[in-house]
Structure 1
């Protein structure tokens, strides 16, 4: 039987489901609600009597004794309650990031949910204090510390954060996660996700940390201090093979990055922190999606530091007289800033291109289900829109919009992603719905745009942009996709067009009807329209006219004849019926009661 992993059940699920937007976390929140409903029934903590809920509810009454001897699912139930609160917090944070700020109501909800999550994880730690599996117990403690860090960093709205506690908690989490990863107890993707998510926060609150070696030494030092203060997580680490190893952090001057060469520009790096951030970003090897996030965070730190340097120089109105290769210091800083933005945007493009390739592979394996196609199309469309936005931002950077060759290749990248979406996905959806002319129009328009863009680019032997985004093989695959698409739909589109033309000409006069209007030309003769087959509509009066036309031909009886006929009718009716007395006597006899079966009568 395997060991339950709380980190994989929470953060690992986030990584597997590629949660990136507020809608993704909304769906994740709904899934957690459904899981919690099932767990409540499994653990028998559902309270059906809502009138006396406070006295009969069972969720807050089970303790570690029931967890130890009755059911381990109590711990999972409490864990997912905290995870549900965190999913709502992440959703609010993403909304605020898109908007640019938090609403007052969102701040209130975020603070309340984080406080509740802290209380829930405190109960979780107390509930599982006798857990026999050290791996599960360690991950419960890690989860509790990460929730505490979230509350201190985002739930506490004061400007002065508790940096000491945040750095201590994150250091213990990083050490424990690294130890679990080395023991193959958590996946590499989950470890990279957590490290990329909280590494910047740790550096922000740890002080003056520049390199990765300094960060590792800081973590090791904090773990040692926590072990001296009898922290449970530190004790678990040391009791299960964790060792303190400090790294040498001597700076190697020979490997320093003093200047950068970007296209036709050269710039010197004056800030040591910017230099370290650039070196760390360039040294990261891309293994999975989390590697892009790590690299992007390094470029983001370099960008923030460089912008801060430029703002300080402008505020102090300092003009450096020193020049490098004929470039003034202010221009040097702007070139370096453009270089950092260029690399940061391309890192974002490479990350979204990685997601685009995964979604495209999933699209090619879809069946004929229209709802599945529409859902996957919306996901691909969102990624393509992000890619188009990033490429447009790069094209507007200084030093890029003046480079015709680079600009043409970036435009070709935009065309590639846009046409893959329209010709590869949208045209296929139209074809599945039976709208063949629209599908053919998309394929033909894609072919036209791609041909025009290739003429502007010219030779693709020297490709400037990364090969993962643009290559001759990708262009050939796109051309083959477009050609295959219009070949498969061409005959059906022609048939649909013919049917549409026939429907439009259904009121055209037939050959017999044309004879009444004059001469008939040869092109007017159509074998399928020789005789008028449609019904003709004519005016119909609202009232009948037969009575008015026959009025003079109908004779009526006179008044004397009517009276004579009435008298004759009265005499005949009187003769045909007996007197009233006779009728009454007859009726009385018929109504006279008789005895049983007519035998016994009075």
Structure 2
């Protein structure tokens, strides 16, 4: 059989149904399809006399469904036709309520009829091997039952039916990894625009329902069994989507961040935070790879909190708004420090190799650490905490100093001692250490006052070593400056090729050329052959031709 949700609610979503006429047109389309299926399956009853006894649609058996899935499809479309009729009536009531009594009765009748057809479909698909098809049929039935209960103002039944639909939709949504698929879009659309508002409405009408998030609410009330025909779907989905956390675990519903206490209103969020923070083993990790799953857990908690905050963004209770803001800072604070600890372990692992080629990676990681500290300073509430903000400022300076020391060591390794000394001096002057360099402690002890003091002592030793190396290099250059080159195959880096301290003109005399000329032997010219004397007639003729050629200038004589 086709997907129950795509055939019904998916078709509604694609058709953009808003007005009563829109629902009527869609109902007409569905009705035409039902007529075609009846003809194809030979279910048309031409003799309408005593129709109830002769009609065949309600007498379809599971064996017929197993042979041809279209028998199930026709029951689904009959239910959808009645629901579209009910939606059409509801759209009319929203505009004009003059005939509200008769229209409301018709509305309930159509929904009840739709539920009857869905119950028949559940019986037909009892032997269906594809669990996804069965789950979708149950979801559709739960939505019909929930809407009917809301119309009848049976709020507890509505809460049970809609809770079953929400748990089942959450399960289907989690099974589809493709975020762009139509099924996932449909599930999200149903949750946001149909299920969650209905669940909120039903919960608000009951006095004994605790104020909590909708996911926790649905998991708590999906087991009430107000609709025995629909409840079996809970056995088809993963138990983690129906487990009521608050009934099995005593939850810590508050967090404390820097003296600010915030209440957690989402039980699932409280459970995940409690599960992560109660495990103290990860605080002793000394391998960067071990922190990957911890970071992933904090990111998952942060995403869940963002989703919960977005759903409750219209909440007018300022206390809840403030609690969610404190909780957001608490989660981000722990997430960023966990990332920072992992990066510091990466630096330690690279530094242990003692390979200068790794310095580029170490510098890159330190840049990321400094960025994390800046993100910590930007968290809400940090700026108003003077001690914390002061300590984070110094923490950023400390990591900046460590990064610059790595750069200086790279210069020192390449025998560029003057540059190395300059960097060491700069870092030593910028890093001003005191006994209260940090006024607060940090998670994981990422840095302490003792560590900073030790680093300062180590830095001063580095400065002294760089001074000695730079002085030695300067003396070496002075000793070698008299010569341009000592070995044609070796050339010292950094030495002056030519000493151009003073340029003076060279004294010379003009007679030097004359003296040199006396030592030049003139070349012996070869004998020239004696040429015959040219007759005067030829000369005269040549001169006449020349005058003729340039006669325009000189003229003829």
TM > 0.5 fold call: no
Question: What range describes the TM-score normalised by the shorter chain of this pair?
Answer: 0.3 to 0.5
TM-score calculated relative to the size of structure 1 = 0.40
TM-score calculated relative to the size of structure 2 = 0.43
Choose 1 or 2 for highest CA Rg.
2
